[in-house]
Structure 1
């Protein structure tokens, strides 16, 4: 089961990939706004047989900007909107810590990715990781994941940084990634 699932698993960052990002943090369900076509892209990937897992830094919890109930309500809103489109997310992994906590789960460290691999009993070698920042990609690349940058959120800034991992594929948005990935894995 493990290796078969690894070829059907896709890891997505949340803020800037699925929903609009904010330097002031997404602190409530009302502030959570999907990027156009992102939820449709997840549904399309699901319908093509892919399992979606989200890996997201949520230091707003550690900073006291919102609590776990609020984070759960934000994810409930996302899941409700996804279900209306026939899509779903298998799991949401998140790091509630700040940089000062020096945890191993906050991206760009790979602790959250290791948790995903352990939960599913798989290697992340070849699993696509989709993010809008260098730190999103490095967290997965360190475990063999394939990096995919979307130019939404902070993606343009990440592309211009010159620090992308080697062989990073670049996509306009999550729908462009979905279309490319599905067509290249038929």
Structure 2
């Protein structure tokens, strides 16, 4: 899903890239297959709006292999993303770009996280020369690995699969850990983080 790029130059330090399932909305091992199954975290929607209002640009990078598996189609995904954007906009925020990978693990694409293709998609869509220094927020190691490949700062949230990821303790040396997106945004907006 493309949004028209802002005419204002975006600084990578003011870009926050979010995974979707488990960060913005509840996740499910059975996949999120319909709008009725897409259940947002209200605090995450508010956090995205607060980021926008504070001058940050927010983008989403999400693996959606349920498409390749035949669980839902791209039209259904578009409906979910439209709803997500509407909720954010109703609180005064904006999602600048949504990049998604519709492929399965065996498709050998270059966009499925932990590969960085989705992040390059965001970089291109937002007309940035680099995304190094931006924030990558996810609930799984693959989210953080994708971000670290291109120089993003890593944030693991404990929502979604985050607690399981944290319990494994592998590959999290460079990651900040937060209870959820809202608590990360609290610190980011009060200059606790640099």
**1:89 paired to 2:133:** no
Match 2:170 to one of 155, 160, 163: 163
Where does residue 27 of structure 2 map in the other structure?
21
- Matched with 1:12 is 18
Alpha-carbon distance in 1 for matches of 2:8, 2:174: 25
Q: Which of 25-34 and 159-168 deviates more? A: 159-168
CA contact (8 A) 1:150 1:174 kept: yes
Match of 2:137 in 1: 130
1:112 maps to 2:125: no
Q: Secondary structure at the match of 2:67?
A: helix
Deviation at 1:36, TM superposition (A): 3.5
Q: Is the 8 A contact 2:136 2:147 kept in 1?
A: yes
Across the aligned residues of Structure 1 and Structure 2, the Cα RMSD in angstroms comes to 1.7
Q: TM-score, normalised by structure 1?
A: 0.94
- Alpha-carbon displacement from aligned partner over 1:101-158 (angstroms, at most 9, x marks no partner): 0111000111111222233223121111000000001001011100000000000111
Contact 2:68 2:104 in 1 (8 A): yes
Cα deviations across residues 25-68 of structure 1 (Å, max 9, x unaligned)?
A: 11111111112401000011111110100000000111111111
SS in 2 for 1:88: coil
| Paired position in structure 2 for 1:174 | 181
Counterpart residue number, 1:54: 60
Q: How far apart, CA to CA, are the structure 2 residues paired with 1:79 and 1:4?
A: 20
Contiguous gaps of at least 5 residues in structure 2? 1-6
Contact 2:98 2:122 in 1 (8 A): no
Give 1:2 deviation, angstroms: 9.3
- Structure 1, unaligned stretches of length 5 or more? none
Give the TM-score normalised by structure 2. 0.91
- Higher share of residues assigned helix: 1
Contact 1:11 1:54 in 2 (8 A): yes
Partner of 1:93, secondary structure, is strand
Q: Equivalent residue for 1:100?
A: 106
Against the structure 1 CA distance between its residues 75 and 4, is the aligned structure 2 distance closer, same or farther, given a 3 Å change threshold?
A: closer
Aligned residues: 186
